[in-house]
Structure formats: C-alpha cells, structure tokens
Amino acid sequence: MKFTVLIPARLASTRLPDKPLADIGGKPMVVRVAERAAASGAEAVVVAADDARIERACREHGVRCVLTRTDHTSGSDRLAEACERLALDGDDIVVNVQGDEPLIEPTLVRETARLVAARSDCVMSTAAHGIGDPEEFRNPNVVKVVLDRSGLALYFSRAPVPWWRDGSADGMAGLSPELRPLRHIGIYGYRAGFLRGFPRLEPTPLERIEALEQLRVLWHGHRIAVHVADVAPGPGVDTPADLERVRALFRRPPA
C-alpha cells in the first residue's frame, strides 16, 4: 500500500512561539515528527510549512518540505494546497500527521492509511482509543467520538458521550465494551481528491459550536472510518510544559 504523509507546520503559536522549530534532543520538533512518520513505511513524508525558516530546518535534516500560503485558516486548507503543489492523484492516500506529535506511533500512521484505503464507502479515516479516567471523560479539551456497529463515526464532541443515563455520576461505569467512551486521536487519512475539495465545503453550525473541523465532513453527509487503537498515543506538544515532558522522554536512556 502506497501513501503519503503530510505534516502541516505553522510557525505562529500563541502558547508556544516557533513551535515547529522547538529543539527536541538536538533536532527541531517538526523533524522529529517527520522521522516518526517515515518509520510507518510511507512512500513520501512532506512538511507543508508557512515559513521559510521551517523549510530551511527541514532541508538541513533531509526532510522534504513545500512552502504554502500564510493565510490558511486551518491545517486542512494548508494540506489541500500541498496536494496541489505535489500533483497528487485524486485516489492517492494521504495521512495528515500533526506537526506537534513527535512521539506519534508509526503503526498508527500506517493503520490510518490502511483503513481509508480499505473503506471505499468513506472519504476519511481517523483513530481513537478507550477512555478509562472519569476526569478525562468530562474534560472538554478531550474530544470524544461515538461509532456505529461498522466502525464509522456517528459524532465527535467535547461533551462526555456516550452518557450512561442510569449509571453512576461519572457516566462511565457499567457501559458495555462496545459503548466504552473513546478519545479521538487527531490523525486523519484521506483520498487526495477529497482533501483538495474539503476547503470548498461550507463550514457548518456544529463545527463552529464544537470547534471541531471534522464535523463538517459528517454534516455534509460523508463518512469517516475510525481505527480503535489498543493504547493511547504519546503526548503531543501544545504548551511549554508539554515540551519539557517530551524533551525528558528523549533524554531518557533506552530500557
């Protein structure tokens, strides 16, 4: 199976300035992400950057990079432009790996690609894993996804769903295994043709309310297949504290 990994990298960040260039074990974070993505067996790994400094850092470490416009409102818009610049065929499989995931599991990248390639009834794939912590279940910063019997996404929400009406106060205890809460993992597989057309889909009320771009796909009647991973992914980097935690993991000697 052939697929391309695209990594959107935007230099501006309110919580962590110049985030893609943050040093992790002697390499910029975006390079660390690209190295993990390459271990998935992808045919190509390309960073879609908005600044020449990111392009230069990638080039210095042998990572392919394309410069995109600076005015994109979302990572999906940036990747749509990257698909055009790379002249990807409409049926080519593309996996969007976030540029702040230096510990992304290569297996997760590969499974996301495999799933969208296998599901001709779906325009996208993504991933999730089980939630066992009631605090995480209630946390609005943790996005939840509910699936149907065939593993398709019914809905994504920041609310604690599904909620066991007759259960305990945390809404989790007693749920059957097939209805256990699932945390959404922000990785996406697409066919390049759909990704190129995504910016032309009209933004939707649910997307605005939840601040979740993937709801635009469901609103317009498309389907998203979901791979349920056995374990949670490694921590991403959103804040300076997150960065220090990841740096510590890179400094830790192998077991």
222-240: pLDDT as tens digits: 999 999 999 888 888 988 9
pLDDT, position 71: 86
Where in the chain does DSSP place strands (E)?
4-9, 23-24, 27-28, 44-49, 64-67, 93-96, 124-130, 144-147, 153-157, 182-191, 224-229
Range name among 74-83, 86-95, 109-118, 212-221 with the lowest pLDDT average = 74-83
Please check the confidence at residue 95 and state whether its pLDDT lies above 90. Answer: yes
pLDDT, position 254: 60
| Amino acid of residue 130 | G
pLDDT, the chain, mean:
91
CA-CA distance, 33 to 97, in Å (whole number)? 8
Q: To the nearest whole percent, how much of the chain has pLDDT over 90? A: 75
pLDDT confidence bin for 13, thresholds 50/70/90: confident
Please check the confidence at residue 255 and state whether its pLDDT lies above 60. Answer: no
CA-CA distance, 106 to 85, in Å (whole number)? 25
pLDDT, position 243: 93
CA-CA distance, 112 to 125, in Å (whole number)? 6
Q: How far is CA 225 from the centre of its chain?
A: 14
Contact (CB, 8 A) for 73 and 199: no
CA-CA distance, 124 to 115, in Å (whole number)? 9
Separate counts of helices (H) and strands (E) for the chain: 9, 11
pLDDT, position 251: 82
Please check the confidence at residue 253 and state whether its pLDDT lies above 70. Answer: no
102-157: pLDDT as tens digits: 999 999 999 999 999 999 999 999 999 999 888 899 999 999 999 999 999 999 99
170-215: pLDDT as tens digits: 777 667 777 789 999 999 999 999 999 999 999 999 999 999 999 9
Model pTM?
0.92
| Amino acid of residue 139 | N
**Which CATH code of 3.30.750.24, 3.30.450.20, 3.90.550.10, 3.30.565.10 fits the domain covering 4-232?**
3.90.550.10
φ and ψ of 9, to 5 deg: -135, 115
| Domains of the chain by residue range | 4-232
